[in-house]
Structure 1
């Protein structure tokens, strides 16, 4: 039988049940379970900054937690409202227009048990300030989940595609960009992300490489080979915590705890 959520419900499958989110979802779910045990309450206050249409927020709410999503896009927040309603958790999900730099214009400091900051640091003007604000939104000993674009994965992807000059440019560019047409403003190494966390008062518990293999495997193989998707998911999970693979991951995930 599957594990039960704090409210006795069967937890949802990983958001979109995809290679892009499954590793992070399992880590986040475990972090939520640990905070439930540490706080002695079944219902946590969770902040999802940059949470968009709720690919994480809605499954978190389905576990019985209260989720506040802060996102600058009205369209994303409208989609969030619709998704939450369809999932039956509209009463546990609140969408607020804003961003991580102006976070405390829309939420209170030290008001949350867990903060998710996924796909945000690549796009903000000051990643350090972004992390500090996310941490300041946490109660003492609260958990933070950071997900950002990884430098190594982009370099490998450009090289495999035959764009060797772009791969070299990404490798040497301070922001990790492969050219003027690169849609990602900034990429990180694991060391850079953990340094940002340390400077913001976070005790880093784990670093994960996300999409280590998924972006390199032909989609037709995953779609047509029986059992390939499940096997690739298991491979991604096995490699995620191994530091040897952090430098080649498309994304990097850091899980930490606010120092008391």
Structure 2
């Protein structure tokens, strides 16, 4: 039976959603509270915020786009969770101009690092918004997936350019300012003081399979979802994923362990 809380466009979000939902469930059990305070930086129109709110959590979305926040408000109202979703205009650089430090059980930083001038600062700000023992969900564009996509499209010079460029860009017309390897993202998370709980490759195959095949072949969608899930945790596939997801967790200290 389909999961009613899974966001739409599940081929692109299923792996991240499953990891995030499990992480939130663990935080609920650890805190003993039925609902958590979740911050979604760059959350746009609520692709993740609204489903998280449907799980019963309170979600604050920070996004620089007024249009996206208007769409968020409408989507939350349609889903019946308007009382649990708050949108505020802002960005990762000035995050604490609009939200409080140390006030959230979980922070989502999805599709943000690609567009900030200083990705390390973006991760540090996200971590600074966490409560002790909080969890960070980090999703960013993967270098290998872009190289593979350009090569398969016959743009071999651009593929090589992306492979050698410090920011992983294939040329002046590339709309993505930064791409990352799994090692770079885990380094940013650890550099901000968190422990890496898990790394997943996202859209390993989904962007390479012809859409007509998925739409017309019986059972193809479900089979592809299962394939994505099976490959997501395997390091061998991280290097060709379109996106990379890192789950960062606050290290458990001896003092914290004794209190629990």
Please report the TM-score for the alignment, with normalisation by the length of structure 2. 0.95
Query: Counterpart of 1:19 in 2: which secondary structure?
Result: helix
Q: Do the aligned residues in 2 keep the contact of 1:202 with 1:258 (CA within 8 Å)?
A: yes
Q: Do the aligned residues in 2 keep the contact of 1:123 with 1:185 (CA within 8 Å)?
A: yes
Matched with 1:29 is 21
Query: Counterpart of 1:21 in 2: which secondary structure?
Result: helix
Matched ranges for 1:189-204 at <5 A = 189-204=181-196
- Residue 183 of structure 1 deviates from its aligned partner by 0.6
Q: Do the aligned residues in 1 keep the contact of 2:5 with 2:54 (CA within 8 Å)?
A: no
Please give the per-residue CA displacement for 1:176-218, whole angstroms capped at 9, x wherever unaligned.
Answer: 0001100100100000000000110110000000000001101
Q: Is 1:117 paired with 2:109? A: yes
Matched with 1:214 is 206
- Aligned equivalents of 1:166, 1:107: Cα separation in 2: 40
Matched with 1:79 is 71
Please report the TM-score for the alignment, with normalisation by the length of structure 1. 0.95
Matched ranges for 1:52-67 at <5 A = 52-67=44-59
Q: Stretches of 4+ moved more than 6 A in 1?
A: none
The count of corresponding residues between Structure 1 and Structure 2 is: 252
Query: Counterpart of 2:12 in 1: which secondary structure?
Result: coil
Please give the per-residue CA displacement for 1:200-245, whole angstroms capped at 9, x wherever unaligned.
Answer: 0110000000000001101110011000000000000000000010
Q: Is 1:50 paired with 2:42? A: yes
Query: Counterpart of 1:16 in 2: which secondary structure?
Result: coil
- Aligned equivalents of 1:255, 1:145: Cα separation in 2: 5
- Residue 96 of structure 1 deviates from its aligned partner by 0.3
Please give the per-residue CA displacement for 1:30-61, whole angstroms capped at 9, x wherever unaligned.
Answer: 00000000100011000000000000000000
Matched ranges for 1:148-227 at <5 A = 148-227=140-219
Q: Do the aligned residues in 2 keep the contact of 1:49 with 1:99 (CA within 8 Å)?
A: yes
Q: Do the aligned residues in 1 keep the contact of 2:5 with 2:55 (CA within 8 Å)?
A: no
Matched with 2:258 is none
- Aligned equivalents of 2:208, 2:112: Cα separation in 1: 24
Matched with 2:237 is 245
Matched with 1:144 is 136
Q: Do the aligned residues in 1 keep the contact of 2:201 with 2:244 (CA within 8 Å)?
A: yes
Q: Do the aligned residues in 2 keep the contact of 1:51 with 1:71 (CA within 8 Å)?
A: yes
- Residue 17 of structure 1 deviates from its aligned partner by 4.2
Matched ranges for 1:10-21 at <5 A = 12-21=4-13
- Aligned equivalents of 2:240, 2:46: Cα separation in 1: 28
Q: Is 1:94 paired with 2:69? A: no
In structure 2, the gaps of 5 or more residues are: 253-260
- Aligned equivalents of 1:36, 1:55: Cα separation in 2: 21
Query: Counterpart of 2:78 in 1: which secondary structure?
Result: helix
Query: Counterpart of 1:69 in 2: which secondary structure?
Result: strand
Q: Do the aligned residues in 2 keep the contact of 1:140 with 1:259 (CA within 8 Å)?
A: no
Q: Is 1:236 paired with 2:228? A: yes
- Aligned equivalents of 2:6, 2:16: Cα separation in 1: 9
